[in-house]
Each structure stands twice: as C-alpha cells, then as structure tokens.
Amino acid sequence: MIHGKDFDVIIIGGSYAGLSAAMSLGRSLRHVLVIDSGLPCNAPTPHSHNFITHDGEVPLVIANKAKLQVLQYETVQFLSALATAVQKTDLGFVVGVSSGDVFHTRKIVFATGLKDIIPDIKGFAACWGKSVLHCPYCHGYEVKHEKTGIIANGDMGFEFARLISNWTSQLILFTNGKAGLSKEQFEKLNEHRVPVIETAIDSIEHAGGRIENIVLADGSRHSLSALYARPAFTQHCPLPEELGCELTEMGLLKIDIFQRTTIKSVYACGDNSSPARSVSMAVAAGTMAGASLNKELIEESF
C-alpha cells in the first residue's frame, strides 16, 4: 500500500536506471515513488556482464537486490503498476496508473527503457538475448573465437563486422538481401576474410535459445555459435512523447549532460535516452539524474 499521494519525485520505470535515481533521491531525503510495470527489456538475457561486482549475475537478481537496498530508505516507495498518464499542472504533474490511482509530484523521471522490434525471422525471438546478441562488450567474451554471424547491412554492417572481428576471426556478414556496401568496404571485408552473404534469411535453428544454424531462403545452412544483430527499437513507453519530450534522430529521448529532457522538471535516464545499452551505464545515468534533480529542488527552495 502506498502512503500518501504527493511526492517530490515520481520515477516511472523501476529497473537499473530508475532504482539508481531513487537511491540518490532517497539518500537526499526526497519523497519518491517508483512505478514499475515489471517488463524489463533484458528479461530474456540469462547473465549480465561488464558490470564490476555483478559480472555474470542474472539480471533479475541484480534488480531485486537493488530494489531491496533502495527501499531501505524510508522516503522511497515502490508501486508495481503501469503508468498510464502524465499531465502537467501549475504545481507539477499528475500521474495516473493502471489501478486507477492518481498521484501528484513536483518532478518526473522517465526510466522507461526501449522496446526492441524483433524481425520476422523464425527462431530470432527465442534466441534473442541468449545467442542472438546486441553488444560484444556485454556478451562477446563468452563467445570469443567462436563461429559468429552478423545480421546487418550498409555502413552499419561494415562497422559491426569491424567491431566483432576483435572477438573472433570466424565471422560471416549476412546482409539479408542485396548488400548496400561500398566497393572499398567489400574489399576491406575480403581482406580480413569476412564473407558477405546476401541471400535472404529464412529462419534460425536453435536448441532452447542456443543457435545452431542460420537457414537461408535457398535452403542452405550455416553453423554458428552466436549471431549479432541490432534490431530497430521504439520507446517502451509513450508518455514522454505525449508530454512533449523531444526525441533525437535515433529515436532516443533528448537529454543534456544532467539527464534533463526538453521539458522542464522532466528527466530521463537509461536505455530510453542513451545509445549505450548496458546495466552499468544505466546505473550511472540514474545516479546523475537523481543528483541533478535534487540540486534543482534545492535551488527552487533556497
């Protein structure tokens, strides 16, 4: 049960960034409500890496530990619900949730993450986050020197291949259609023995989310241990845009170095506003958002 209806700050999104912001604010004696729908983007991922003190832990374990620690601060409360509306008022904001409850706050933090748009390739969704990967810094070490594929095209395909070549020399670039690579890019890939396959992808064969083969439209199969892809994404929550927050050309919430959006008194942190999608960077962004927001509250009262 939530005590009270008025808060200094409401944080929408209670994963790593949101909880980190809540800790900064709780330690600043601010009355905070964290609202979370329980749908983290990295839910399929079995292990989180490249975050010191938590390397190799299950993502949900990290989040639950963080939640327990944050709720030790008596001015912070957590509500498991979906935020359905945010309206600007003369005194701040009104936030409605799926239960029908309405809360009032002076400031808002959106830590709402992104939603990946899974391509229409059979088997892709089952492997996503397990053996179909988005980030070599998060998962590359675990598949180092293994036979690895990349689904990408054009400049992104070329740059992705250059990046992943650091972890393995057994690399294949699947453009899933006619390659949009320049002559120079083709030559550079050939120089580094990275074959480019333009045949459309039919499906991914796997065992429990662990990729075994990528199957092409012509029936051919390529055995792989891992596959990298960067599917398109959209904002997980429509509320920031409905409130008027601007997006960047990449589709991320536009923020300044203090995590402030283009709407006064509204902050954003985590994947929704950063191209670097990792737990450690989400935590850092949440810490910055909380500290910056507390400074803003102090400046308004002193």
List domains and CATH numbers for the chain.
6-116+232-301 (3.50.50.60), 124-229 (3.50.50.60)
Question: What per-residue confidence (pLDDT) applies to 46?
Answer: 82
Kindly indicate the confidence band of residue 42, based on its pLDDT and cuts at 50, 70 and 90: confident
Distance of CA 197 to the CA centre of its chain: 29
Backbone angles phi, psi at 64, to 5 degrees: -65, -40
Backbone angles phi, psi at 237, to 5 degrees: -125, 130
pTM of the full structure:
0.94
**Which of the 8 DSSP states describes residue 128?**
B
- Per DSSP, the three-state class of 111 is coil
Given a contact cutoff of 8 angstroms between Cβ atoms, the answer to whether 203 and 119 are in contact is no
Given a contact cutoff of 8 angstroms between Cβ atoms, the answer to whether 160 and 152 are in contact is yes
Average pLDDT over residues 36-48: 83
In this structure, the strands spanning 171-174 and 148-151 are: parallel
Q: For 9-18, how does the pLDDT look when each residue is reduced to its tens digit (9 = 90+)?
A: 999 999 999 9
Q: For 207-220, how does the pLDDT look when each residue is reduced to its tens digit (9 = 90+)?
A: 999 999 999 999 99
Average pLDDT over residues 250-275: 97
6: how many CB neighbours lie within 10 A of its CB? Answer: 12
Q: For 113-148, how does the pLDDT look when each residue is reduced to its tens digit (9 = 90+)?
A: 999 999 999 999 999 999 999 999 999 999 999 999
Checking if the pLDDT of 246 tops 90, the result is: yes
Nearest to 66 by CA among 18, 22, 19, 125: 19
Question: What per-residue confidence (pLDDT) applies to 216?
Answer: 98
Q: What string of DSSP letters covers 190-208?
A: HHTT--EE-SPEEEEEEET
